[in-house]
Structures are given as structure tokens and as C-alpha cells.
């Protein structure tokens, strides 16, 4: 048996006035996702336990088959695993975004989708200027980076306080004044101090001077959020009895793969944005299945379009995902014989609010041993009309591979 899980990050949404009360999934032409529904079943799933923030962290942890209520450790430590940053027992890792602030507002949470190469120069400058023994900056991908705090710079008590600091994801406050969303709590003073000092380091940096000459948003500050300590999750093969691999352009998803003992497959041209190599991801997934039981393929672009507030771009991203990823895998997986395939988002990302939401969303599953349920299209309305209970996200993996958890 071969298994494929295809994730269109954030592609579910709410009805929009500009789409005459329809969602982007309603409007998008998605014949391959519709085909999975016709061959199998559709239902509704929730990946955000009550009291937990909605987003890709809880979403992907759940869909990989791990209950966030049991294994939640913060986003940054998972990303640290992907970029090879080894955390000590007391260390606290923070996501460190390169952002653009203007007139006291979050002008661009991604600093204009700054390139990885440009951002790496900025992060190196921050580490040289603001880092010290126990505080270090580590370059990731595009605008997504890490800062690690630990001894001897901070005591265990100070690190405990830092871990409990209230932080807001920058993509949640696009276009809003940042004053009310700065870190707060016992550990906030240090974080605010570094954020303030980062402005002085970054404003005069040659990378930002060049970006300004090119009329690109400068990465003129850092923004801390998503903190946590080293993750402790059992290996995937020990839990589900299959070997597998992860395909994604996003450090978080690849980090989950490394933490769970899965192979992490790099696809040339995979960017995490609308220009990503969709077809390459689909083709690599089929290559993965030649030597593995299972593949988890994640595409970020619908989520990015949602954060930009563009229904047009989101529809395009969904259609590209359906055509080049879902279509490629659906056609190819049949050649292996017995198979099961599942397609879904990891959470809702709302065009209207430009951020994540925790409500249930549709999933569809088809393949060997799955009796068609009679539905014909993949959409929020179709999933809600299935008449089945909303399932918890971390149980879907067990349903897919016939192993309860």
C-alpha cells in the first residue's frame, strides 16, 4: 500500500462578498480534488484544539498524526531542527522574522519576500552586533529566521520567563500599529530591547540600502514570536509502522520531518510562494513512493496569497496546486497498485482578516478499501454537507494507514 497526503496550506476560507458569497475553493477549477471526492469520501476536520492558536504549527503537527495537546512545543524549535540548530535542555528558540515597519505599523511581515541570500547577510550582521554567548541568530529561509536564548546569557529562571512571554505573529497584524502587539510579560524587556536595537543595525546595512534603491521594502526590524523548547515526539515509524518522507519549502514542515525521523526531500525551485515548482513537487512525490510507503507533500502558496488578502492570487494558487500537484500524484499513484490519497488544507486562512482561523475545514480521502460516499466536489460546503462528525486532525493519519492512535 502507498499513501499520499497533499496539503494546500490555508486554502480553505469563508464566503467572500467579492466572490458573491462563495469561497475561493468554490470558485477555483479543481477537477483533481473533485475526482478524489467522487472516488472516496469528504468530511470536516479540525486541527486546532481549543485554547491553541490556529496555524501551520498545530495544523501540520495534527495532520502528521500527533496531538498538539500532548506534543506542543512552539514553532521555533521545530524550525531549529530543520536548519541544524541543536537546542540545549534550557534553551528557548524564537522565530525571528525580518519585517518592514513604517510609521509605527507592520507594513510587510515578510519584508517584501526578501531573498534567503539577502536575509542571511542581515542575520549575520545581527549575530555579530547583538549576539553573545547564550544569544545567537540563525539564518533560515527568506524572511523566516531564529534567535536562540540560553545560558550563560540568561539564568534558568530568566529563560522560563522568556518562554512564557506573550508574542504575536507578525502576519496577524498586517497594516496595524505594532505598539499594542509588542512582546509582553516577564521576559518582554529583553526581546523589546533587541528588536529596538535591530533597527539601528539593519537600517544602514548595504542590503537594505540596495533594496530601497530598487524600490523594495527594507527589512528594517526583527520580530520575535513562536518560541519554545526542544521538541520530544516519538518517531513516526514507531507510531504508524510505515516509512515516509516530507516535501515542503517551509522550514517548519521540514523540521517536523526531521524530528519524526522522516526523510526530507528538497525539490529544486520550491520557494514557498506562488512561483514555486508545483509540478516538480508532484513528480518528486511519486519518486519518493518508489522507495517509501508514504509521502507528505506541503504547498505554502495558498496561505501566502491569503496573508496578502488577494482572492485572485489564492484562487490561482489553489488551481495550480490542483493541476500540477494533486493531478500528478493522483495519476501516478495508481501505478503502484493499492494506494490511499488524502487532500486537505492544514487550517483556514481568511482573505478578509489576512490571518489564520480555527474553524473546521474539508478533507477528502480515496483509494483502496474506501467506499465512495456520493459527494462530487471539494469545498467547504460539500464537506459540511457530508453529515459526518468533525474529526480531530491528529486521528486522520491513523484512519489513512489503518492504525489507531
pLDDT at 372: 96
Handedness of CA 384, 351, 57, 267 (dihedral sign): positive
In sign, the C-alpha dihedral spanning 69, 75, 76, 79 is positive
Burial of 391 from C-beta contacts in 10 A (0-12 / 13-18 / 19+): middle
Q: What is the DSSP letter of 395?
A: G
Distance CA 251, CA 268 (A): 15
Q: Could you count the other beta carbons within 10 Å of the beta carbon of residue 279?
A: 16
Domain residue spans in the chain? 2-73+232-401, 81-228
- pLDDT at position 62: 97
Q: What is the pLDDT of residue 402?
A: 81
Beta-bridge mates of residue 145:
96
Question: Please, are residues 76 and 227 in contact by the beta-carbon 8 Å criterion?
Answer: yes
Residue 147 CA to residue 98 CA, distance in Å, equals 12
User: Whose CA is closest to 63, among 10, 130, 129?
Assistant: 10
Helix then strand then coil, % of the chain, to nearest 5: 40, 20, 35
Q: Write phi, then psi, for 312 (nearest 5 degrees).
A: -60, -45
How far apart, in Å, are the Cα atoms of 346 and each of 105, 349, 389? Answer: 29, 9, 18
* pLDDT score, position 403: 58
Q: In whole angstroms, what is the distance from residue 56 CA to residue 358 CA?
A: 11
Taking residue 43's Cβ as centre, other Cβ atoms within 10 Å add up to 22
Q: Within the chain, which residues score under 50 in pLDDT?
A: 404-405
Listed in order, strand segments (DSSP E) in 255-359 are 263-265, 294-299, 339-344, 348-350, 355-357
DSSP 292-308: -SEEEEEE-HHHHHHHT
Task: Give me the pLDDT at residue 405, please.
Answer: 43
**For the chain, how many residues are written?**
405
> What's the pLDDT tens digit per position in 135-167?
999 999 999 999 999 999 999 999 999 999 999
Pairing outcome for strands 41-46 and 391-392: parallel
For residues 62 and 69, give the distance between their C-alpha atoms in angstroms, rounded to a whole number: 10
Q: Which CATH superfamily is domain 2-73+232-401 in?
A: Alkaline Phosphatase, subunit A (3.40.720.10)
Amino acid at each position: 500500500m502507498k499513501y499520499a497526503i497533499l496539503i494546500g496550506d490555508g486554502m480553505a476560507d469563508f464566503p467572500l462578498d467579492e466572490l458573491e458569497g462563495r469561497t475561493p475553493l468554490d470558485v477555483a477549477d479543481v477537477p483533481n480534488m473533485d475526482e478524489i471526492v467522487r472516488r472516496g469520501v469528504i468530511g470536516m476536520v479540525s486541527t486546532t484544539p481549543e485554547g491553541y492558536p490556529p496555524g501551520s504549527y498545530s495544523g501540520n503537527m495534527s495532520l502528521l498524526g500527533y496531538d498538539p495537546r500532548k506534543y506542543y512545543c512552539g514553532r521555533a524549535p521545530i524550525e531549529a531542527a530543520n536548519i541544524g540548530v541543536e537546542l540545549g535542555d534550557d534553551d528557548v528558540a524564537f522565530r525571528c522574522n525580518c519585517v518592514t515597519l513604517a510609521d509605527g505599523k507592520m507594513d510587510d511581515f515578510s519584508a517584501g519576500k526578501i531573498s534567503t541570500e539577502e536575509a542571511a547577510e542581515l542575520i549575520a550582521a545581527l549575530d555579530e552586533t547583538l549576539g553573545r554567548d547564550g544569544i545567537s541568530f540563525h539564518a533560515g529561509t527568506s524572511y523566516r529566521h531564529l534567535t536562540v536564548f540560553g545560558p550563560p546569557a540568561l539564568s534558568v529562571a530568566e529563560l522560563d520567563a522568556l518562554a512564557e512571554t506573550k508574542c504575536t505573529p507578525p502576519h496577524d497584524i498586517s497594516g496595524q500599529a505594532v505598539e499594542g502587539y509588542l512582546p509582553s510579560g516577564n521576559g518582554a524587556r529583553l526581546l523589546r530591547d533587541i528588536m529596538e536595537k535591530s533597527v539601528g543595525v539593519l537600517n544602514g546595512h548595504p542590503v537594505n540600502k540596495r533594496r530601497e534603491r530598487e524600490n523594495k521594502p527594507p527589512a528594517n526590524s526583527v520580530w520575535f514570536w513562536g518560541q519554545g523548547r526542544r521538541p520530544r515526539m516519538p518517531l513516526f515509524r514507531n507510531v504508524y509502522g510505515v516509512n515516509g518522507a516530507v516535501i515542503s519549502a517551509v522550514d517548519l514542515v521540514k523540521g517536523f520531518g526531521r524530528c519524526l525521523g522522516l526523510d526530507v526531500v528538497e525539490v529544486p525551485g520550491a520557494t514557498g510562494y506562488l512561483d514555486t515548482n508545483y509540478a516538480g513537487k508532484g513528480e518528486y512525490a511519486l519518486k519518493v513512493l518508489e522507495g517509501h510507503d508514504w509521502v507528505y507533500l506541503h504547498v505554502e502558496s495558498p496561505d501566502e496569497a491569503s496573508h496578502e488578502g488577494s482572492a485572485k492570487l489564492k484562487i490561482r494558487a489553489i488551481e495550480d496546486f490542483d493541476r500540477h500537484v494533486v493531478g500528478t500524484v493522483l495519476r501516478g499513484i495508481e501505478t503502484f497498485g493499492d494506494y490511499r490519497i488524502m487532500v486537505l488544507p492544514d487550517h483556514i486562512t481568511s482573505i478578509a482578516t489576512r490571518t489564520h482561523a480555527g474553524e473546521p475545514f474539508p478533507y477528502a480521502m480515496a483509494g483502496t478499501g474506501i467506499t465512495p460516499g456520493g459527494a462530487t466536489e471539494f469545498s467547504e460546503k460539500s464537506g459540511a454537507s457530508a453529515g459526518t462528525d468533525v474529526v480531530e486532525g491528529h486521528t486522520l493519519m491513523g484512519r489513512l494507514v489503518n492504525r489507531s492512535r
